[in-house]
Amino acid sequence: MPTRWNKGGLLARVNFPLYTLQMLTSRHILVGGGGGSSKTGVANGFEIFELSHDGTQFIAEEMTRHETGPSVVMNCATYNDGQRAWIVAGQESHCQLYNVTTKVTLIENGEINKCQTNNNKGSLRHRKKSEREEDVRKTKDKKIQEMENNNSSAKGKKLQLIIKPADSLQTDFWDVEPLQRVVRVSQDGKLMATGGTDGHVRLWKFPQMLKEHDLALHEKEIDDIDFSPGYSLLASIAKDGKLYIWNVRDGSKVNELTWTPPNGAKSMYKRCRFKRSEERKAKEELFVLSNSTLGKLSSFLQLWDVESNSIVKSVPYKETLSALAVSDDGKFVAVGTMFSGSVDIYVAFSLSKALHVPSAHSMFITGLEFLPSKLDGPAITSNTEAAVVSISVDNRICIHSINFRHTLPFWLVIVLIILSICGAFILCSYLGI
């Protein structure tokens, strides 16, 4: 597939509806979805794109496509330890683990060069086998070295991602229609959490996929889960209207976050993401999307203090919210809407709006992810302070970025204030006031 270019925020367009989005590396995004088990002709699976920036706009190039047969990929998670990566994808009632390895391949004129050498059998006919093998080896080494030293645009290196299916285990056991609805991997890569239609949140040792705890307080299917930055807590949201905080070490319930909506309205939690922080002893804060059960009333983006069970800040919305993401440095939070397909980015500590993208998609937003700043390598060089990728069932992958905010250092502000005061006094003395 040819390179896709960013036109009006568009990164790429695929041929199936998109339901899940993850960053695989600092430069690679993974999207998944499909048409389901019915024979519609729409494929199921996921694709991986490599991102770059040409100084003006972001560019996405397709690298790998993996089809999953009749099973649509509704949810997935990734983990990257800097040397290797894993993908876990929900496929019906099961969770499929994939190993991802990289391979650097030499290319020439846009195609992989296998560095094969034509042997002249006539010249080698009377030589020993060991001599012939040594000669071939030297010839290959010489050719590879020449290719590596050639910096022309026609020759170079290409990174290939090799995806291999590994273990698969059942994570949901509803007796009517079992389905894994969400999966997350902790930031330290030691635990995986899954939730499904049976209302259970299950913790698994990762990547061994061994069950640790079964958290069974929810009465309806799970909508979302997230690990805290310190790996000790897990938040879960379900269609029973409950938001629980769990201790991942022993599987006990720590807290239940509750609030009273204004005007006697009823609301349902939809998404949750812990706020990331560089401080070791920072208090645990959780971003939550809360939708009104009646469409005419307000929905909310909320920032909760988990320990005190209180809302720190809140932003009202006049439409239903569908997607949520928090940047890995904790500076920004992004929200996607249901009906207008819009994307908003907020400054995390104040919840002041930094960017509004109306009608970013023609249909509801199904996934949001910030480009990482510290995953497994340097961030993509660009003129933006933050960028968020969005997907939708309209088959489009888009990106929305915030330019660097130009602010003055605090000491310089103080100096300017002092100079202004001194200048005012001098002017008043000169005028005899």
Q: What is the mean pLDDT of the chain?
A: 85
Q: Residue 78 above 60 pLDDT?
A: yes
Q: Report the pLDDT averaged over residues 211-218.
A: 96
Q: Determine what percent of the chain is predicted with pLDDT higher than 90.
A: 62
pLDDT digits (tens, 9 = 90+) for 93-130: 999 999 998 877 766 555 555 443 333 333 333 444 45
CA–CA distances in Å: residue 343 to residues 5, 112, 337: 20, 39, 7
In this predicted structure, the answer to whether residue 310 has a pLDDT above a threshold of 50 is yes
Is a pLDDT exceeding 60 seen at residue 433? yes
* 240 pLDDT higher than 90: yes
DSSP string over 31-99: EEEE--SS-SS--EEEEEEEEEE-SSSEEEEEEEEEE-TT--EEEEEEEE-SS-EEEEEEETTEEEEEE
Per-residue model confidence (pLDDT) at position 4: 35
| 430 has pLDDT over 60 | yes
* Over residues 24-35, mean pLDDT: 93
How many percent of the chain have pLDDT more than 70? 80
Q: Tell me what pLDDT residue 129 has.
A: 47
pTM: 0.81
Higher pLDDT, 82 or 127: 82
Q: Which residue has the higher pLDDT, 116 or 309?
A: 309
**For the segment 246-269, what is each residue's pLDDT rounded down to a tens digit?**
999 999 999 999 999 988 888 999
Q: Is the dihedral of CA 68, 336, 286, 243 positive or negative?
A: negative
Q: What is the mean pLDDT of residues 352-380?
A: 87
pLDDT digits (tens, 9 = 90+) for 367-412: 999 998 775 556 676 678 899 999 999 999 999 999 875 555 666 7
Please indicate whether residue 359 or residue 282 has the higher confidence score (pLDDT): 359
Confidence (pLDDT) at 429: 80
Extract the tokens encoding 147.
């290719």
Q: Which residues of 320-349 are buried (b: 16+ CB within 10 A; e: fewer)?
A: bbbbbbbbbebbbbbbbbbebbbbbbbebe
Q: What is the pLDDT of residue 133?
A: 55
Residue 165 confidence (pLDDT): 95
Q: What was the pLDDT predicted at 432?
A: 74
